[in-house]
Amino acid sequence: MKLDCEVVKDLYVLYKENELSLQVKKAVEEHLYQCEECKKTYESESDFTDIIMQEVEEPSKEMDEKVFSRLKLLRLRITIILIVVISISIFGSSYYKSREYLIRDRLRYRNDVCGIFGLLQRIKDEKSYIINEDIENIIDNTNEEYEIFKRSLNFIEKRNLEDYYKKSSFELSVKSLIITLNSRSKNGTWSKEDEKAYTILYRELDNLQKSLTTKENKLGNMFFTVKTSDIERSLNKINQLAFSYIRYNKFPEELNKLSNEDMKKRLEFLFNQKGEKFFFDERGEVECYFNMIIADGCEGYDGIIDKYTGKVIELYHGPCKNAGELIPIEKVKGNITSFLKRDFGEMFNKAELGKYQGYLIQPC
C-alpha cells in the first residue's frame, strides 16, 4: 500500500496514538523511510502541530453581525412561538371551562322558560288555580337566570344578542299579559283577541325552548355554540306582543308610530293653539318629549306624548288656569267608563266602577 504525503500528514495523530491498523501503519513507515520531508515532519512534532494548527482566516466583522442577527431573530421566533403556545393553552383551558358553565347556565335558563311555558298551559285548565305572585316569581327568576346565562356567552354569541343584550329576558309587560290572560280565562271574559295573543305567546315560548335545547357538538364543549339570534328573535316577539297588547289592546302589526307632523296636529287640536312651533325629542320606543313655543312669545307647553296614540302622557307646563269649575261625580264616572271601553274593549262592560269621592278640575 502506497500513501502520498498529504495522507501521511493526515495520519500523524493516529500514528502517534498507535491507533492505525498494522497494514496502514506499515505503509506510513515505508513512506517515511522513502520521503525525507515527511520523516522530518514526524520527527519534529512542533512543526507538524504548526501545520495542523495553522490559523484559519478570521471571518469578517460584517459576517459576525449577520450571524448574530440571525441568532437573535431565531431566538425571537422561538420566544414568540412559546408565548403563543402558552397563551393558547391558557385561553383554551379558560374557554373550555366557560363552555361548561354555559351548558349549565343554559339548562337553568331553559328550565325557567319551561316553567313559564307550564304556567301558560295551566291558564286554560279550569281545575288549575294560579295566583299572580307565582307568575311574578317565576318570571323574575327567569330574568335572573338570563343575566347569568349571558355572562357565559362568547363574543360571537353576544354580538348576535347585541341589539337586545341590555334588556331583560321578559319585560314587565309579559308579567301583565300572562296575569291578564289568566284572569280572563278564570272569570269567563276570554275573547278572540285573547286567544290570538295566547297562541302567539305559546308558539314563541315553544320556539325559545327549542333554541335553548340545541344539541351539543360531537367534538365537545370547545365547539359547542348557542343560537343566540334565534333566542333574540323569540324574546323580541314575546315582549313586543306583551307591550302592544297590554298597553294598546292591539297586536304589534296593528301599531303604527305617528310622524312628527301628525303629533303636531294633535297637539294643536288639544291646546287649541295655532302658529306655534313644536320641537320633538325621542325618548325610547314609546315616549316622545315635546316642547311648544307660542308664536307671540307667550308661555308654551312641554311634556310627553305617546308616539302611537298621540295622547299626552305627561304635561309639565302650560298656560292653563290653576282653578276652574268642578265636574260632577256622575259626569266623571261617565267619562271614565267611556275611556275604559274605548281603550280596553267591551270586556269592561261587566266591571263595576267604584264610587268616586272627589272632583276634577274643569279644563280651561
Helix (H, G, I), strand (E, B) or coil at 196: helix
Confidence of residue 274 (pLDDT cuts 50, 70, 90): confident
Confidence of residue 322 (pLDDT cuts 50, 70, 90): low
Beta bridge partners of 291: 279, 302
Q: Does 202 lie in the same domain as 282? A: no
Q: How many other CB atoms are there within 10 angstroms of residue 253's CB atom?
A: 8
pLDDT of 362 strictly over 60: no
Range of the domain at 339: 321-364
48 domain-assigned: yes
Q: Does 345 lie in the same domain as 215? A: no
Residues 238 and 172: their CA atoms lie apart, in Å, by 11
Q: Does 92 lie in the same domain as 218? A: yes
Which residues contact residue 86 at a Cβ distance below 8 angstroms, ignoring those fewer than 6 apart?
none
Confidence of residue 355 (pLDDT cuts 50, 70, 90): very low
**214-273 per-position pLDDT tens digit:** 665 444 555 667 778 888 889 989 999 999 999 888 999 998 988 888 888 888 888 777
pLDDT of 99 strictly over 50: yes
Q: Do strands 277-283 and 312-317 pair parallel, antiparallel, or not at all (unpaired)?
A: unpaired
Any idea of the CA torsion for 253, 255, 257, 262, to the nearest 10 degrees?
A: 130
pLDDT at 129: 83
62 domain-assigned: no
Q: Output the pTM of the full model.
A: 0.60
What's the number of domains the chain is made of?
Answer: 4
Work out the average pLDDT over 181-203.
Answer: 92
Q: Does 217 lie in the same domain as 305? A: no
67 domain-assigned: no
Cβ neighbourhood burial of 245 (10 Å; 0-12, 13-18, 19+): buried
Q: Does 243 lie in the same domain as 96? A: yes
Q: Do strands 312-317 and 287-293 pair parallel, antiparallel, or not at all (unpaired)?
A: unpaired
Work out the average pLDDT over 1-13.
Answer: 77
pLDDT at 176: 93
Q: Does 216 lie in the same domain as 306? A: no
**136-185 per-position pLDDT tens digit:** 999 999 999 998 888 888 777 777 665 544 567 898 899 999 999 999 99
Residue at a domain's end among 254, 281, 300: 254
130 domain-assigned: yes
Work out the average pLDDT over 287-297.
Answer: 71
Residues 100 and 92: their CA atoms lie apart, in Å, by 12
129 domain-assigned: yes
Question: 325: which DSSP letter?
Answer: P
**Which has the higher per-residue pLDDT, 115 or 330?**
115
The residue assigned the cell 500514528 is 15
The residue assigned the cell 312628527 is 260
What are the respective helix, strand and coil percentages of the chain, to the nearest 5?
A: 60, 10, 30
Residues 167 and 262: their CA atoms lie apart, in Å, by 30
Confidence of residue 65 (pLDDT cuts 50, 70, 90): low
Task: Supply 211's cell numbers.
Answer: 333554541
Q: Does 358 lie in the same domain as 226? A: no
58 domain-assigned: no
Q: Does 188 lie in the same domain as 289? A: no
Q: Does 267 lie in the same domain as 180? A: no
Cα angle value 202/163/289 (rounded, 5°): 100
64 domain-assigned: no
**122-136 per-position pLDDT tens digit:** 888 877 888 889 999
Closest CA to 335 of 362, 301, 300, 299: 362
Q: Does 202 lie in the same domain as 246? A: yes
